[in-house]
Chains A and B, each alone.
Chain A
């Protein structure tokens, strides 16, 4: 029988670590995908995924059951990714990669992407400022409510709206330039 997230969280809070393993198995692809979309690199996304699950485990007592576990976990993942990017060494590495304007690690990319168009979109996403990109991904890709995105990024809703507008307009313009 498939247990719902709330039950698994409750079991985990009672000391059942297998319940958390089930949650990890359930969300690892989504967490990895979001991290990869924000960070643009598979190894960095994997590190962020592990960090996100570790934080989720240690902060589980702080989780508010009023909101879905997936929302809480994905917002936490977004914050982990943004913090990772604030690390200066990491930031420089990412900037170098973005400057090359080609997706890194082709063998990994080949596995991760099915279509060139998606690859282009991911590459263009990486040109957006990190916070703007994260807002775009949380709102459009993960389809989180505006209020949740604002809370995750610790900014007012108006700021998120502006980021979404600028992000979408930038992507529209770049896609037009690339695809004609």
Chain B
């Protein structure tokens, strides 16, 4: 390596990256033409840069869970399902006992609708009271 190579080393790196002004770029080009050591160093730096660029993209581990899990949800759903069972069973029983097909056939559509609404109101109130008690 010639005496001025050490002082030029930093410039040589900037030269390799194309960061130098045109005048300095020309100066380094002239130096490189006659300096085997600097040529070798330039090649070695290029190889390092290339090796870094060619590092593979690594696959990220599979996400455990992107969406935060609300641990209360399954419990709430279970409680709601259980809470619904009893009122539904009661309603089915009550409805089946009161079910009188011949009477229904004799009633006017308006009256049957009225009776149905009244029952629906009872069911909703019963359900609401039950749900408030359980939940």
Contact = CB atoms under 8 A, between A and B. Distances in A.
Nearest to B14: A161
Interface of B is mostly: helix
Interface residues of A, number: 34
- Sort chain B's interface into a size bin: 20 to 34
Interface string A4-36: 000000000000000001001000111111001
A141 B55 contact: yes
Where chain A touches its partner, the secondary structure class is: helix
Given A141-B52, A165-B10, A165-B13, A172 B58 contact: no
Q: Which 7 A-B pairs have the closest CB atoms?
A: A32-B60, A140-B52, A165-B13, A33-B58, A28-B60, A172-B44, A171-B48
Given A33-B57, A117-B51, A171-B48, 11 more contacts: A29-B57, A29-B59, A33-B60, A42-B61, A118-B55, A122-B55, A141-B52, A141-B53, A164-B17, A165-B13, A169-B45
Interface of A: 21, 24, 28-33, 36-37, 42, 46, 49, 112, 114, 117-118, 121-122, 136-137, 140-141, 143, 146, 161, 164-165, 168-169, 171-172, 175-176
